[in-house]
Amino acid sequence: MFQRLPTNTINWIILIVIALFLFEILFFNGWLIFSILFSSFMIFVGWKNLSYTWGKIVFFFGCISLFFNILNTMAVRFLIIAGVVLFILHYQRLKKEPEQITPQFTRDDAEQRADEESLIKVKPLLNNRLFDDQATSQTSYKWSDISIHSGFGDRIIDLSHTVLPEQAVISIRHFIGNIIIYVPYEVEVQLVHSSIFGRAYILGEHHEKLMNDTLAYKTENYDNHIPRVKMITSIGSGDIEVRRI
C-alpha cells in the first residue's frame, strides 16, 4: 500500500508530523523534549554496558520510556489516524478497481543483454548504525567509498591499510560522537565539515569551539596530485580529527 503512495503525499505527512511535534513542545508540553533526550541517554548508557545486568535494566527501561513518550504525542496520534485513513482509501480503491495481474513474457538473452548493464555489488566498508563505535579494519582491506549516517559513538577510518584510487570519497553524517580519520602522507585531502557543537583538528589546524559552523580545507596540491580523498562530514555534537599517519 505505502509503496504506491505519491512522494508528495508522504512528504506532506512527514511535514505535518514534524509541525505537530514542534507545536506540542512549544505550546503544550515543553518537558517532552527533555524526557525524550533523557530516555535516549538511558538507552545509550544501557547499550554501552549491555554485558552487565544493570546495563540491561537501564537499556530496556529507556526503550519503554521512549516508546511511551513518543506514543503520547499528537504527532504519533496523527500518524496512526493517517495510516488508518490511507488503509481505508486503499481498500475502497481496490474494491472499485481490482488489481490486475498481467503475464510477464521473458525476452531472449540477446535482447535482455542489450537493455541491461552489468553491475557488480560492492560491500560497503561501514554501515549505518545508530549506536556503538565503528572503525575500519586494522589489517589490509579493499577500498570502497564511504557514505553513512549514524547516531551515537565514534567513527574511526584508517586509510593507511588500503590502496586508494585516484579519487576517494568519504561522506559521514553523525549525531553525537567523534570522527577520526588517519591519512597517509602521500594522499592529498579536501574536507568540508559542518558542526553544531564540537572541535576540529585538521592536519595541524585547531578549532577549539565550533557552534553551528562550517569548515572547508584542502591541501596545497589537492587539484594536481593523486591519490586524493574528499571528505564531507557533519556532526551534531562531537569532534573531528584528520591526522597524518
Q: Per the domain annotation, does 25 fall within a domain?
A: yes
Q: Is the domain of 92 the same as that of 145?
A: no
- Whether 124 is covered by a domain: the verdict is no
Does residue 159 share a domain with residue 215?
yes
Query: What is residue 26's predicted lDDT score, i.e. its pLDDT?
Result: 79
Number of domains in the chain: 2
| Residue 137 CB neighbour total at 10 angstroms | 11
User: Does any domain span residue 103?
Assistant: no
Choose one of 96, 120, 154: the last residue of a domain: 96
Q: Are residues 17 and 76 in the same domain?
A: yes
**What does R_g of the chain's alpha carbons equal in angstroms?**
24
**Structural domain that includes position 211:** 134-244
Q: Is residue 118 part of a domain?
A: no
| 8 & 59 share domain | yes
Whole-model pTM: value is 0.58
Residues 85 and 139 in one domain: no
Tens place of pLDDT per residue across the chain (245 aa): 555 566 567 667 777 888 888 888 777 777 778 888 888 888 888 888 888 888 888 889 988 988 888 888 888 888 888 888 877 877 777 667 665 555 555 555 555 555 566 667 777 777 777 666 788 888 888 888 988 888 778 889 999 988 898 999 999 998 888 899 999 999 999 999 998 888 899 998 888 888 888 999 999 999 989 899 999 999 888 889 999 98
Q: Is residue 86 part of a domain?
A: yes
110 in a domain, yes or no?
Answer: no
Residue 142, in any domain of the structure:
yes
Q: What is the pLDDT of residue 126?
A: 77
Same domain, 59 and 143: no
